[in-house]
């Protein structure tokens, strides 16, 4: 569940590694693991494995810094909670490019959004220990640039009107630029995830898969899940971006890259150069 309250930057300090300047102080291999966690797995691939899906989105340092600035609140650039809605007629006007985050209950969605907004201390993100805590669509406006939507979780304790709420949003929200489908990196794709994928494919919604909680998975298990999901994406999807995004909201692995991808797909980072990053 996400809430925004007044209190300004003094209300909460940014956690370690929330800013790129902190990451750049680390030694090189550690920096790469934080910014590009998927690449860390490449060295363990069998010879002949196609590595192209591991490096499709590889922004340089300048692009990462520009996108971070969008997620850092300041004078003239507020990041605000706008409203919550259970029906589209309660949703804010579709004035800005929009991205939404969706996934199973307890997949770590609110934890990831808290990490993304960690440089905006006035945006208070509450992470419940009870699965299925988010019951409404929560809209957050990032300056004049884009809106981020936290969708209710599906599966355990999902709202009774979940399907109607989400289907209507996906079909009617014409400013939606990308859906971020979160998948538990420990257990991989589940039956409910496949239902969500079928819905996105049916509606022709462009989406990307994000594997969460990678700090809880062994290297072997994570690599197994990554390769299986990559194969599934290649063989069974049309609208999914071929590269997976790996994140740990605890270690901040992958958070900087997702910020950059959000900025890119919302048109706020129109050109992303593949340059030397760290």
**Helix/strand/coil for 84:** strand
| pLDDT of the residue at 169 | 92
- The whole-model pTM stands at 0.90
CA dist., res. 23 & res. 120, Å (int): 18
Cα distance between residue 213 and residue 185, in whole Å: 6
What pLDDT shows up at residue 129? 53
Report all structural domains of the chain as residue ranges with CATH numbers, in order of start: 35-44+59-123+134-266 (3.40.50.300)
pLDDT of residue 8: 40
Of 163, 169, 165, 214, the residue nearest 192 (C-alpha): 163
Give the tens place of pLDDT for each residue, 249-263: 999 999 999 999 999
Per-residue model confidence as pLDDT tens digits over 46-85: 898 888 999 999 999 999 999 999 999 999 999 999 989 8
CA angle 40–44–49, rounded 5-degree value: 105
Mean of per-residue pLDDT scores for the chain: 88
Question: Residue 277 pLDDT > 60, yes or no?
Answer: no
Q: Render pLDDT for 150-203 as a digit per residue (tens, 0 to 9).
A: 998 887 655 556 778 888 999 999 999 999 999 999 999 999 999 999 999 999
Residue 134: the pLDDT is 56
Residue 170, burial from CB neighbour count under 10 angstroms (0-12, 13-18, 19+)? buried
- Whether 11 has a pLDDT exceeding 70, the answer reads no
Closest CA to 135 of 118, 115, 113, 158: 158
In this prediction, residue 132 carries a pLDDT of: 47
Please spell the DSSP secondary structure of 146-173, one letter per residue.
EEEEEPPPBSTT--TTHHHHHHHHHHH-
**Tokens coding 170:** 């996906």
Residue-by-residue DSSP string for 209-233: EEEE-GGGS-HHHHHHHHHHHHHHH
């Amino acid at each position: 569940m996400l809430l925004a309250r007044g209190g300004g930057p003094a209300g909460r300090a940014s956690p370690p590694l929330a800013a790129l300047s902190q990451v750049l102080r680390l030694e090189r291999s550690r920096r790469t693991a934080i910014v590009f966690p998927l690449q860390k797995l490449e060295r363990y691939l069998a010879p002949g494995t196609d590595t192209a899906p591991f490096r499709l989105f590889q922004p340089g340092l300048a692009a990462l810094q520009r996108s971070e600035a969008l997620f850092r609140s300041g004078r003239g650039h507020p990041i605000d909670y706008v409203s919550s809605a259970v029906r589209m007629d309660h949703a804010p006007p579709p004035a800005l490019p929009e991205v939404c985050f969706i996934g199973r209950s307890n997949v770590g969605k609110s934890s990831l959004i808290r990490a993304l907004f960690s440089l905006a201390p006035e945006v208070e993100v509450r992470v419940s220990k009870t699965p299925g805590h988010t019951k409404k669509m929560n809209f957050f406006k990032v300056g004049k640039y884009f809106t981020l939507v936290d969708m209710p979780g599906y599966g355990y304790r999902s709202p009774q009107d979940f399907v109607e709420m989400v289907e209507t949003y996906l079909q009617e929200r014409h400013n939606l630029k990308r859906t971020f489908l979160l998948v538990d990196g420990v257990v991989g794709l589940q039956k409910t995830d496949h239902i969500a994928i079928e819905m996105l494919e049916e509606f022709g919604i462009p989406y990307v898969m994000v594997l969460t909680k990678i700090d809880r998975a062994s290297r072997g298990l994570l690599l197994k899940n990554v390769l299986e999901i990559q194969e599934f994406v290649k063989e069974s999807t049309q609208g999914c971006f071929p590269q997976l995004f790996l994140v740990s909201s605890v270690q901040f692995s992958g958070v900087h890259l997702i910020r950059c991808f959000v900025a890119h797909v919302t048109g706020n980072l129109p050109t992303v150069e593949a340059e030397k990053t760290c």
